[in-house]
Amino acid sequence: MTRSAIIRWSAILVLVAFWELLRQFDLVNGILLASPSEIYDAFGKDGAAFVGAFQVTLAEIVTAIIITWSLGLTFGLLAGTIPILGMSAGPIMASLFAIPLIVWYPLFMVWLGIGPASKILFAVVSGFFPIALNTMNGVRLLDRRYILLGQSLGATRVQLLFRILMPLALPSVMSGLRIGTALVVIGVIVTEMLASVQGLGFWISYHRTLFNTGHVYLGMMLALACALLANWGLSRLEIKFGRWRELEKIDG
């Protein structure tokens, strides 16, 4: 184990010990803070229910991410390469994104009920705008000579979009994906807390009303795990598609 890893794990252990002592000596009200041992006890008591809820929430998040990325990237690329579409859609999307999106959820519940479909739709709407806007702006700011070069080499429109424009606009695209993915995770969990009969958000809200703080913190930890998994997947994708930039720097 490296020195940095030892320091990192030591810091985590000290933090957990301090967290536990805060509750053991009753320095913080138990309604406000659950100790690591209380979270562990909650898992031992209702771990199966929370694991099932974690699977439901993760499935909703993954489904929403796939749809959101597909729609956001495709629309952003098209709007960035078609001037008329970009000029007309850009201001509309920016205006819609400025509206608090949570006000849309009651409408989604009317359409799709309180099941997973309404959660996924809300998450898709939440994450679509930053991905589409960042992708569109990243493509629009590129030098047009790259497009002329691709056309002169006989590249089709699809090849221009995904083999020339997308890699060049990668920093802006990744920025949009990070914001959009975070909003997808937040959207799923928040809507589960508002109206649901399953998922982590439901169990967090349920145990909050019963003042079962250990269970609430257990749900929060699992929700954080969902966010970390999404961020890890995005980081791996960024490393994979950003490798050519590192090679370019080495060659230069």
Query: SS3 string of 35-81?
Result: CHHHHHHHHHHHHHHHHHHHHHHHHHHHHHHHHHHHHHHHHHHHHHH
pLDDT in the model for residue 242 = 63
Residue 43 near residue 220 (C-beta atoms within 8 A): no
Helices (H), 82-199: 83-98, 105-112, 116-140, 145-152, 157-159, 166-168, 170-194
pLDDT in the model for residue 119 = 94
Contacts for 222 with CB less than 8 Å, ≥ 6 apart: 50, 53, 54, 57, 200
Residue 202 near residue 192 (C-beta atoms within 8 A): yes
pLDDT in the model for residue 243 = 61
Angle at CA of residue 219, ends 218 and 220, nearest 5°: 90
Q: Which CATH architecture has domain 41-235?
A: Orthogonal Bundle (1.10)
Single out the residue of 23, 45, 21, 44 nearest to residue 32, CA to CA.
23
Residue 64 near residue 244 (C-beta atoms within 8 A): no
Cα–Cα distance, 194 to 149 (Å, whole number): 51
222 by Cβ neighbours in 10 Å (0-12 / 13-18 / 19+) ranks as: buried
pLDDT 10s digits, 72-107: 998 988 888 887 887 888 788 878 777 788 888 888
Cα–Cα distance, 40 to 38 (Å, whole number): 5
Domain boundaries defined on the chain: 41-235
Cα–Cα distance, 159 to 139 (Å, whole number): 14
pLDDT in the model for residue 250 = 47
Cα–Cα distance, 156 to 224 (Å, whole number): 42
pLDDT in the model for residue 246 = 55
Residue 135 near residue 69 (C-beta atoms within 8 A): no
Low-confidence ranges of the chain (pLDDT < 50): 247-248, 250-252
